[in-house]
A = this chain, B = another copy of it.
């Protein structure tokens, strides 16, 4: 990974690029960590939601992740093809597709502990630093999303 980054003169450009770039850095880190499980990072996010509450609808997952059916439908189909979830129509509302964990998918929750530890370690930051950064990013995201 290079250390030479866009020498832009203005702060707004620098900050956007830094976020863009940090996102890629996390993506590469997660790719290596999730490879053994057969998951991508967006797929991992969906699994986290299902481990927390199973049987969510596509739109429910989308609301939580900020994604829409055009992204989630094929993603969930790949999770289904991999044998981690099943998809079924909601009996109460046939428009909805409910995503449920298979036994295999449910059992994976026990394998992610060390991934979390690796990520935390990789940040090299204290809990307080992580909390501050999280809080500032949250504020920034909300402002940008509202614009």
Contact = CB atoms under 8 A, between A and B. Distances in A.
**Tier of interface size on chain A:** 35 or more
A53 B121 CA distance: 38
A66 B1 contact: yes
A12 to B, nearest CB: 4
A8 interface: yes
Contacts of A116: 10, 12-13
B141 A21 contact: yes
Contacts of A90: none
A5 interface: yes
Contacts of A13: 48, 116, 119
Contacts of A7: 52, 64
